[in-house]
Amino acid sequence: MFKGLGTAMITPFDADGAVDYSALEKIVDGQLKGNVDALFVCGTTGEPPTMSASERDKVVRSVIEQVNGKIPVFVGTGSNDCAHAVELSKHAQAMGADGVLAVTPYYNKCTQEGLYLYYKAINDAIDIPVVAYNVPGRTGVNMKPETVEKLTSLSNIRGVKEASGNIAQILETSRRIRGSQINLYSGDDCIAVPIMSVGASGLISVASNAIPATVSEMIHAWLDGNVAKALDMQMKYKPFFDAMFLEVNPIPVKTACALLGMCEPYMRLPLTTLTDGNRQTLEKIMKDLAIL
């Protein structure tokens, strides 16, 4: 498992709604040059619910081929149908993924035992690392610290991406899995350094789509023991990190990437382009921080 920065990648679309593979190649190249430590493809930020199976496959294969083993590539395989999540995870392994990111089942609102059995089914089906993903604001289900601790009995569960925003809960999760095979990762850019201070191994980031080198520098400053620098960067870039949620992710970050010339600012419905007012706010923040 990696330590440092993983980017939760966007999927670029053109004006006609097709996947823009030229832009995708440019984005991956920028990530590699920006010294990120892992890429996460077709997770929430990549808009996979609006993509066909063949589109997802082509995007995943394109990224894996371009990365060519330089850093790990994880594929989003979570579902509210456990059997489907297992099949997606097996397929990701067959395509050459280095690991999978499996969000907790959404909408069904299963029990904590259901969460454990879901991850056990994925764990038992593949031989590559699994990162569990807790984001109750999207899924309607919160994976409790004692459930994450229970996952330490499963050998392929090697990470947990924590995006609950509840520092007390994240601290308790970190306490319970400390010394196990499970690495804790922040799922929120705006509190990455605080979460690393309670034991996280890194950040799985939205903002690093746009500013990979900057976010990598912040995370590695902490890992290298330069606490003051890491905190200074966390504070400096907080307005940009916060702006990534002016509207629902990935609308703002895809807009930021478009402003930087990486891609077009298009989403697939039901996601929409950033409103004019929020676009102006984002542009101002980016100019104030010399990102743009």
The full set of domain ranges for the chain reads 4-225
* pLDDT for the residue numbered 240: 98
Please state, for a pLDDT cut of 70, what percent of the chain lies above it. Answer: 100
Average pLDDT over residues 235-241: 98
Let me know if 109 is a catalytic residue.
no
Tally of CA atoms within 13 A in the half-sphere of 38 that contains its CB: 27
* pLDDT for the residue numbered 1: 87
β-pairing, 157-162 vs 99-103, is unpaired
Average pLDDT over residues 106-129: 96
Q: Is a pLDDT exceeding 90 seen at residue 66?
A: yes
Average pLDDT over residues 158-170: 96
Provide the β-strand partners of residue 160.
Answer: 132, 184
- The residues, ordered by sequence, that sit 6+ positions from 176 with a Cβ below 8 Å of its Cβ are 145, 146, 148, 149
Average pLDDT over residues 91-95: 97
- Tell me how far apart the alpha carbons of residues 220 and 200 are, in angstroms, rounded to a whole number: 12
The helix (run of H) or strand (run of E) holding residue 185 is: strand 183-186
Please state, for a pLDDT cut of 90, what percent of the chain lies above it. Answer: 99
* pLDDT for the residue numbered 31: 98
* pLDDT for the residue numbered 102: 98
Instruction: Please report, for residues 26, 146, 159, 160, the alpha-carbon distance to residue 180 in angstroms, rounded to integers and kept in the order given.
Output: 37, 14, 10, 12
Q: Out of 116, 133, 185, 266, which one is annotated catalytic? A: 133
Helix (H/G/I), strand (E/B), else coil: 130 = strand
Average pLDDT over residues 69-85: 97
The structure tokens 């330490």 sit at: 152
Let me know if 21 is a catalytic residue.
no
Class for domain 4-225, per CATH? alpha beta
Cis status of the peptide bond prior to 129, with omega within 30 of 0: no
Backbone angles phi, psi at 41, to 5 degrees: -105, 140
Average pLDDT over residues 224-231: 97
Q: Out of 118, 119, 161, 254, which one is annotated catalytic? A: 161
Average pLDDT over residues 88-113: 96
pTM of the model: 0.95
